[in-house]
């Protein structure tokens, strides 16, 4: 039997940016709660969505749910991508193993029960199948919103993380995209990377809804920016 590998030095991830930050196991303290509560506790999830709706000043809960989910996916995919790029491995981010603590501003604090390294492929399976998929199902049990739209939010979040990584590590985005873990098969149908002047640019096939808010705007990767994707966007709330 091979000896256990040392835990990943995830404190180094915070240097990339706040969305990449992750702390290791710690005793539960004030303000911390299990991420699994968003999946198992309907009232907890409803409260989280309502808080986003209040912050966005909108009564359209599907947009609030979309923005909430994209922000959550941004935190998880940033940690996954950052660790995979820096260490060639990533932590297990299944919902039962993650605890979180909301902040007054900025991304939520996250802690994970184990820092034992997993291969990027295994880490993605656990992150996607054991956290993001059940969370999307929980959201859809409360809000009329398309599963394809939510999956597009994950793809957009991962694309954004890769872009930040490329800038922080002074590595070309094209180089990162050639790594197998950077383009999971689960997200292949959600958009594509375009070759444009200045380097690759991600184009998703759906719109997260932020563009419809009075104080909102259109995201750089929005389907509404790409003529060939407008047909796909029409079914986003099916």
Looking at the domain assignment, is residue 198 inside a domain?
yes
Calculate mean pLDDT across residues 97-120.
91
Q: Kindly compute the dihedral angle of the four CA atoms of residues 79, 82, 86, 92, in this order, to the nearest 10 degrees.
A: 30
CA atoms within 13 Å, Cβ hemisphere of 180: 8
- Give yes or no for residue 159 having a pLDDT over 90: yes
**Band of pLDDT at residue 237, cut at 50, 70 and 90:** very low
- What pLDDT sits at residue 238? 32
b/e sequence 108-135, b meaning 16+ C-beta within 10 Å: ebbbbbebebbebeebbbbbbebbbbbb
Looking at the domain assignment, is residue 158 inside a domain?
yes
- What pLDDT sits at residue 29? 77
Calculate mean pLDDT across residues 86-91.
96
Looking at the domain assignment, is residue 196 inside a domain?
yes
Residue whose structure tokens are 């689960």: 186
Looking at the domain assignment, is residue 4 inside a domain?
no
- What pLDDT sits at residue 111? 94
Higher pLDDT, 120 or 196: 120
- What pLDDT sits at residue 93? 97
Cα–Cα distance measured from residue 82 to residue 85, given in angstroms and rounded to the nearest whole number: 5
- Residue among 201, 161, 167, 151 at smallest CA distance from 182: 161
- What pLDDT sits at residue 88? 95
- Give yes or no for residue 233 having a pLDDT over 70: no
Contact predicate 176/165, CB 8 Å:
yes
Residue 130 corresponds to which tokens in the numbers above? 């054991």
| Range with the largest mean pLDDT of 1-5, 62-66, 167-171, 191-195 | 62-66
Looking at the domain assignment, is residue 3 inside a domain?
no
- Give yes or no for residue 142 having a pLDDT over 70: yes
Residue 211 corresponds to which tokens in the numbers above? 């563009």
Cα–Cα distance measured from residue 182 to residue 167, given in angstroms and rounded to the nearest whole number: 15
- What pLDDT sits at residue 20? 97
Looking at the domain assignment, is residue 73 inside a domain?
yes
Count of structural domains, the chain: 1
- Give yes or no for residue 234 having a pLDDT over 80: no
The domain in which residue 175 lies consists of 10-233
Contact predicate 90/79, CB 8 Å:
yes
SS3 47: helix
Looking at the domain assignment, is residue 238 inside a domain?
no
Average pLDDT across the chain, whole number: 88
pTM of the entire structure? 0.90
């Amino acid at each position: 039997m091979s000896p256990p590998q040392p835990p990943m030095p995830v404190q180094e991830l915070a240097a990339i940016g706040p969305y990449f930050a992750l702390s290791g196991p710690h005793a539960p303290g004030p303000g911390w709660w299990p991420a699994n509560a968003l999946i198992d506790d309907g009232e907890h999830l409803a409260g989280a969505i309502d808080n986003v709706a209040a912050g966005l000043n909108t009564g359209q809960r599907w947009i609030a749910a979309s923005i909430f989910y994209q922000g959550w996916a941004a935190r998880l995919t940033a940690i996954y991508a950052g660790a995979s790029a820096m260490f060639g491995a990533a932590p297990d981010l299944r919902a039962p193993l993650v605890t979180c603590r909301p902040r007054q501003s900025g991304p939520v604090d996250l802690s994970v029960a184990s820092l034992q390294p997993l291969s990027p492929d295994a880490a993605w399976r656990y992150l996607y199948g054991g956290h993001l998929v059940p969370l999307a199902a929980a959201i859809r049990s409360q809000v009329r919103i398309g599963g394809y739209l939510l999956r597009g939010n994950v793809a957009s979040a991962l694309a954004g993380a890769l872009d930040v990584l490329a800038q922080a590590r002074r590595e070309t985005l094209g180089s990162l995209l050639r790594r197998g873990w950077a383009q999971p098969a689960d997200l292949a149908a959600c958009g594509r990377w375009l070759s444009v002047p200045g380097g690759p640019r991600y184009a998703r096939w759906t719109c997260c809804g932020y563009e419809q808010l009075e104080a909102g705007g259109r995201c750089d990767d929005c389907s509404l920016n790409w003529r060939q994707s407008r047909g796909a966007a029409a079914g986003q709330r099916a």
